[in-house]
Structure 1
Amino acid sequence: MDRPIKTVPNLTSELRKDIVESPTVIRNASGIRLFGKRIKSIVYTTDVAVIANSDADAILAVYPWTPNTRILDAVSRVANVPILAGIGGGITKGLRSATVGRFAEENGAQAVVLNAPTSIVTIASVERIVDVPIIYTVVNKSVDLKERIDAGVDAFNVAGGKDTAELVRWMRNTLKDSHPNFPIIASGGKTSDQIAETIAAGANAITYTAYGISEQTLHEKMDHYRETH
């Protein structure tokens, strides 16, 4: 017997109808429960205007500079969903990463994210200081997954570019005996088909980028104003 397709009523307003919407296909992911909240869609941005106008389940606040507590403070002021806060791990490492992690936790971050070059020593330092989950970013197959889990990593964030789905499949196969249900977050790609493939490969939650959304929305509104006024 076919299950009926559920229609989800949508409530919005004239002033808030242009929110940044997550790709619909992400709803097919299983999700990850973070302190009781089920997370499937994660928007990757530090643009506070996007954060304040997004329907994502969580925010991935990671950027290519050394972690700055003022940036996290700005994000936390406007976010009404969990924040996964980047705390370095490459150039910013060891006790400094752990200290930034503690600040992030104290200011509302519900998980901290370490980047790909993070050493086992830094992971252990963060594990000793923070209470929130530690997420480690995986970019290729050279990483020892079990070693990082043993050091304190609670979830993986996969950022493999065009090879993300294949990398997720490799991780699931590697962990199938020791950690079959280990949480995996992954970048979904630019199309619904790419996101669907990543979910099928074993990703529990999907990140999507919001680069240029503020500028694009502003340009569209200005074009509309020019045509109608």
Structure 2
Amino acid sequence: MQISSISGSFWENKKKSSLWDRLFRRNKTITKALTTPEIIGKNCQGLLLKNEIIKSFLFSTDMALIENNDADAILAVYPFPPSPKIIKTLIDFAGKPVVCGVGGGTTKGKKSVEMAIYAEQAGASGIIVNIPFENKDVKKIREKVSIPIIATVTSSDHDFLKGKIEAGVNVFHVSGGANTTKIVKEIRAKFPDFPVMATGGKSLNSIEESIDSGSKAIVLSPPSNKDLFKTVMVKYRNTFGNF
């Protein structure tokens, strides 16, 4: 698959291996079609989730994309109520740590607590709650599960963040669009010892900026199946179009 032809995408930067590694390395790793930028592995400090160091997250629930990428972990968040069936299927399938979404603006209270408990029992390495999730519900979850709680934030307001920390949040996930780097820097200045992960954006430059600002892990959005098929079909048309 010609991933390299997706113009401007950081997914086009293939990891290179030496001839020595290719010929003599005993424990050869399988090269995935979607390889994470080397800068993440080299420069990120990483987050500790259930005794594993995580530097890169793939933001996806697509099993084909999960199977064909080499990110350290999966961030399984989707714009629907959390589903035990989806949680269990992704954890069993992924073969790597999975952080599951359990609440946000529509799902909260008892339902979110139940989903958090279920996710932990199913083997999730952590859970994540979206921006509108209330601190009182974070506290309820914290009382019931021992795995890390990650909170997505788009603000560096001191009192807002302090409330999340006091409620039991273990990691902030900054998803502030063009302001992500600025927000990460401000959080690190106000809470220098608190772990922060961040959305990496669409380019190597934005990923590098997130790392330099203090993010310990990067969340990567994969190309769509449509974009991936487009690159393949262009090749097929050029090769077999005359038959």
From 79, 94, 105, the counterpart of 1:79: 94
Q: CA deviation at 1:33?
A: 1.8
Note if contact 1:89-1:122 (Cα within 8 Å) is conserved in structure 2.
no
The DSSP-based 3-state class of the residue aligned with 2:123 is coil
Residue identity opposite 1:93 in structure 2: K
| Cα distance change, pair 36–201 in 1 and its aligned pair in 2 (3 A) | same
Please state if 1:40 is matched with 2:55.
Answer: yes
Distance 2:203 2:227 in 1: 18
Note if contact 1:66-1:91 (Cα within 8 Å) is conserved in structure 2.
yes
Distance 1:24 1:153 in 2: 29
From 200, 203, 208, the counterpart of 1:191: 203
Where has structure 1 moved over 2 Å in runs of 4 or more? 6-13, 214-229
The DSSP-based 3-state class of the residue aligned with 2:220 is strand
The two structures have a TM-score, normalised by structure 2, of: 0.82
Distance 1:149 1:161 in 2: 23
Question: How does 1:1-229 map onto structure 2 within 5 Å?
Answer: 9=21, 11=28, 17=31, 19-27=33-41, 28-142=43-157, 144-175=160-191, 180-212=192-224, 214-229=225-240
Q: Which runs of 5+ in 1 are unaligned?
A: 1-5
RMSD of Structure 2 on Structure 1 (CA): 2.0
The DSSP-based 3-state class of the residue aligned with 1:66 is coil
> 2:7 matched to which residue of 1?
none
Distance 2:91 2:187 in 1: 32
Q: Which runs of 5+ in 2 are unaligned?
A: 1-15, 23-27
Note if contact 1:59-1:83 (Cα within 8 Å) is conserved in structure 2.
yes
Cα deviation 1:98-156 (Å, max 9, x = unaligned): 10111111112110001111111100111111121100111123462122111111111
Note if contact 2:54-2:73 (Cα within 8 Å) is conserved in structure 1.
yes
Note if contact 2:180-2:210 (Cα within 8 Å) is conserved in structure 1.
yes
| Cα distance change, pair 64–174 in 1 and its aligned pair in 2 (3 A) | same
Note if contact 2:200-2:219 (Cα within 8 Å) is conserved in structure 1.
yes
The DSSP-based 3-state class of the residue aligned with 1:164 is helix
Distance 1:109 1:75 in 2: 9
The DSSP-based 3-state class of the residue aligned with 1:87 is strand
The DSSP-based 3-state class of the residue aligned with 2:100 is strand
Note if contact 2:57-2:75 (Cα within 8 Å) is conserved in structure 1.
yes
The DSSP-based 3-state class of the residue aligned with 1:65 is coil
The DSSP-based 3-state class of the residue aligned with 2:103 is coil
Distance 1:74 1:216 in 2: 25
Q: Percent identity?
A: 37
Distance 1:92 1:192 in 2: 34
> 1:3 matched to which residue of 2?
none
Note if contact 2:150-2:170 (Cα within 8 Å) is conserved in structure 1.
yes
Distance 1:151 1:18 in 2: 39
- The number of aligned residues is 216
| Cα distance change, pair 37–184 in 1 and its aligned pair in 2 (3 A) | same
Q: CA deviation at 1:223?
A: 3.4
> 2:10 matched to which residue of 1?
none
